[in-house]
Structure 1
Amino acid sequence: MARAKKSRKGGPIGVAKAPKDWQSKPQRPSKPTRVKKHKGKAPGSRHNVDTKPQAAGNQKTVTDKRIGSKKPVPLVVKATSEPIQKIEKRKYATPAQELAALEANERFNYLLDQLEDGAILKDDDRKWIDAQLERHQVLCDLLGIKESDDEDQDNDPFAQLDAIRIDDFKD
């Protein structure tokens, strides 16, 4: 007798369920489905040209929306002689207003504090602070303002004590 090969498929293990009778249950009225919003154009709209009947009075040529501009596009960028827009400097009515604005500048004050603390500044910060200090000096000269440090040293009473010699008062 021939040998029967084992199969991997097993037969039904349990008892099969009875088939459901869908029509025996009462049907519920289905809820109205939400209307979906349409996004974008209909499929194939790129290839389908709109053919609308035109009125007899308006005899315009039909233009295909797929055809773009006929303006030639330059393939090589030409170097323009016009400089890039420069940032306009603020114009002040008086030197006093410019000096007040300069002294109120946060970056100017921050960098001056860094210099006084002995910090090393970046090159661009150093150039900017030098330019601002030169402008500050010019404005002070225009307004007749002197540095307060020199006045304090001249009027310092303790500096005069060092200059006194006792030998001058002896007979």
Structure 2
Amino acid sequence: MPRKKKSRKIGQIGTPLAPKTNRKPAPASPKRNKKTLGKPAGTRNNPEQTNSQSKPNKTVKDPRVGSKKPIPLIVDNKPKAKVAKPKFFSPAQELESIEQNERFALLLEKLDSDVALTRDEKAFVNKLTARHQELCDLLGIADEDDSPENSESSAENDLYEQFESIDINKFK
């Protein structure tokens, strides 16, 4: 088998093309639309104006995503702490907690000594005294000042009626 000698000349590789003037035009393929991912650049800061022009009565919605809650620029010195309301299993426990409340006791001492209370302190005292009175009425506890001495015998006779009058739904 004869061998060909290597040469540095570049010959034609493959078939030669016809001149451009003689070529047939390639069939025009329909252009494919690229799939777009997301919105075009700048839409966050430039809301669409076509929607606002077509519906002038509708309120303009802010297209930006995120929290609209205003951030306070000035820090208050008074932190607002939410006090969790304790849940009681019985009215007796709630009455006991009201009677053991130190703040309530101090404010009652101020009232007894005729010291002026602030609006918040007055509201707190009024709220707790009203709740204390409700619980005393519910449990059948009468004030010592208001009850006459003969009430012991009448209370013993009416124990069954008091038991019947208690509404159990209030304890749930």
Q: TM-score, normalised by structure 2?
A: 0.40
Q: TM-score, normalised by structure 1?
A: 0.40
Larger RCO: 1 or 2 (CA < 8 Å, sep 6+): 2
